[in-house]
Amino acid sequence: MKILAVESSSLVASAAVWEDDVIKAEYTLNNKKTHSQTLLPMIDSVLKSSDTDVSEIDAIAVSSGPGSFTGLRIGAATAKGLGMALGKPLIAVPTLDMTAYNIFKSHALICPIMDARRNQVYTGFYKNESDFEVIKQSFAADIKEVLYELESLGDEVIFLGDGVPVYKEFIKNHFACPYAFAPAYMNRQRAGTLACLGAKYYRQGKVVSAQSMVPEYLRKSQAEREMESKH
Amino acid sequence: MGSNSYINDKLKDDIGGEGCLTGSVKKEAGGNICILAVETSCDETAAAVVKNGKTVLSNVISSQIELHTVYGGVVPELASRNHIEKINYVIAQALSDADIKVSEIDAVAVTCGPGLVGALLVGVAHAKAFAYALKKPLIGVHHIEGHIAANYIEHDIKPPFLCLVVSGGHTQLAAVKDYTDIEIIGKTCDDAAGEAFDKVARSIGLGYPGGPKIDAEAKKGDPYAIVFPKAKVAKSEYDFSFSGVKSAVLNYLNSVNMRGKAVNTADVAASFQKSVVEVLVEHTVKAAHDYGFKQAAMAGGVAANSLLRETMKKTCDENGIKLYYPSPVYCTDNAAMIGAAAYYDFLNGKRSGLDLNAFPALKLGEKVE
């Protein structure tokens, strides 16, 4: 069983080859948003360096959102093109599920936050103490509302994700429960993690066809929002 | 063919089956070249299979016009979202209509610019991955070269010739010296011709898309009813400017409204259209004469305009210039034209890399690898 994982939902671009519970190759960049140029060469690199022919891949795991609209589409289009050519399914893994899955065997509540601009974050609540649990699925909200909701749950919280640098001071000044910020080696999107969670979802039968997979933006386009506010 | 092809379920299995990679390409030396082409530069998700740059085996276009109509124009983010939803179905349909296996495809071509960057990126990322997994060559194609190449599909025109490219995003006079050697000799300094059609159509309540609506409305009106200025530019005889005529229409509408009179939309449409068409024809014929071209062609969505076709034909005939233009389905955005252009790039040895990007402002004649 071989999974190719493709991640480009945020500033991070990442690709990994997973084979039978082993991450055989992984390539992650967190530098510039040039995913349209870098992603496919990175995929080629992880396949070549793990001596894997692309035709041996059984499924393609891809971050399904939320995230940068364009970034999500570059990842989705790449996965859909590969899946279509190979006749293989896709595993659409919510970006925040993947980010939370970086944390293992902790009693704390896991809260990945992504900067969604317009004073909002994309977030979700997770636990990974005995088994990975989605406590609250991905949603977009004001950081104040998120912290208020977390306080009502009363658990210790691990924050991670690219929203942390943006809201770190705010959390320090306003959050009443115990908390920690995850360190750099586990606080961003990574294709290795994506492949592992993808394998778990694959075994649960959570796959989609290459043709039907679409990103989950969690937010309408600006034009649609403006149109709705007029009516 | 050429319209919104409906996606059927059967073909999903045809495409998705294993063994797509097996089977050798049955191609004799110097034999047929079949190119799968993908186009997502604006608001049409399109795919086609074209043999030898000429024989269109399939041409699937999924139009988003209805989606954008309520906004009065193309919304880039909505266009991109729609492309990612449709792209696999459209490509699968193109392969199915062409009755061809992916293993029989010689290359994958994709529009890499100019256009809406988010929209282009869907096609580029998809086509790159598709070609990569199939181990087929990839060719990034210039959208405007595609429009020009639409003329090769139905006609036996060969370079050199002069081509007037007129669409919603572009208005250019191009000297087509060879299939892959094109030089711009005139262009618009502001709005594209099609953009002016859209804006005028909106101002007289015809809605989006403006081109076909003005064309139809103008047939009911008097083109001599109102005199609008011609879309010329001082001192640059092959360039165009359409913002002046557009403003003149808006001013005219204002003044009629101020006097409390009713606007005759048919007369406005006819007079505006005449003003735009006259300058397009004059410049094309003058450039053909000055540069010594005996053949001229038209390309792009506005080339489907009936008055432009008629007037250009008549004037070219009078001046001893042989005129060509594609059927309307190949004038508006489509992937068959991309497959036609890619054929000549393919023969010329052009191959794009895995790092092919989208180039929203790619100029005509500018080369990308």
pLDDT (tens digit per residue) in A2-57: 999 999 999 999 999 999 999 999 999 999 889 999 999 999 999 999 999 999 99
Say yes or no: A51 and A72 in one domain: yes
Say yes or no: A181 and A202 in one domain: no
Say yes or no: A37 and A113 in one domain: no
Say yes or no: A161 and A218 in one domain: no
Q: Encode pLDDT of B276-327 as tens digits.
A: 999 999 999 999 999 999 999 999 999 999 999 999 999 999 999 999 999 9
**Domain B10-150+331-347 class, CATH top level:** alpha beta
Q: Between A55, A77, A222, which is nearest B77 by CB?
A: A222
Number of domains in chain A: 2
- Please report, for chain B, the start and end positions of each structural domain, with discontinuous segments joined by +: 10-150+331-347, 158-325
- Answer yes or no: is A18 within a domain: yes
| pLDDT reported for residue B359 | 96
Say yes or no: A158 and A107 in one domain: yes
pLDDT category, B368, cuts 50, 70, 90? confident
Say yes or no: A182 and A193 in one domain: no
**Contact between B198 and B210 (Cβ < 8 Å):** yes
In one letter, which amino acid is B101? Answer: K
CATH of the domain at A146: 3.30.420.40
Phi and psi of B129, rounded to 5°? -65, -40
Given an 8 Å threshold on Cβ–Cβ distance, is B128 in contact with A40?
Answer: yes
- Answer yes or no: is A143 within a domain: yes
In one letter, which amino acid is A51? Answer: D
Given an 8 Å threshold on Cβ–Cβ distance, is B357 in contact with A36?
Answer: yes
Say yes or no: A141 and A154 in one domain: yes
Give the SS3 label for residue B271: helix
Given an 8 Å threshold on Cβ–Cβ distance, is B118 in contact with A70?
Answer: yes
Residues of B with CB under 8 A from a CB of A: 12, 15-21, 70-71, 75, 77-78, 80-81, 83-85, 87-89, 91-92, 102, 117-118, 121-134, 354-358
Q: Do domains B10-150+331-347 and B158-325 have the same CATH topology?
A: yes
Q: Encode pLDDT of B103-154 as tens digits.
A: 999 999 999 999 999 999 999 999 999 999 999 999 999 999 999 999 999 9
Residues in chain A, pLDDT under 70: none
Burial of A14 (0-12, 13-18, 19+ CB in 10 A): buried
Structural domain for A128, as ranges? 103-186
- Reference A103, options A166, A179, A29, A170; nearest CA is A179
Is the pLDDT at B20 greater than 60? The verdict is no
Say yes or no: A172 and A209 in one domain: no
In one letter, which amino acid is A75? Answer: G
Partner residues linked to B37 by β-bridges: B48, B109
Which tokens go with B303?
């080339």
Say yes or no: A162 and A180 in one domain: yes
Say yes or no: A86 and A28 in one domain: yes
| pLDDT reported for residue B231 | 67
Distance between CA atoms of B194 and B129, rounded to whole angstroms? 33
Say yes or no: A82 and A111 in one domain: no
Say yes or no: A135 and A80 in one domain: no
In one letter, which amino acid is A117? Answer: R
In one letter, which amino acid is B319? Answer: N
Q: Which fold does the domain B158-325 belong to in CATH?
A: Nucleotidyltransferase; domain 5 (3.30.420)
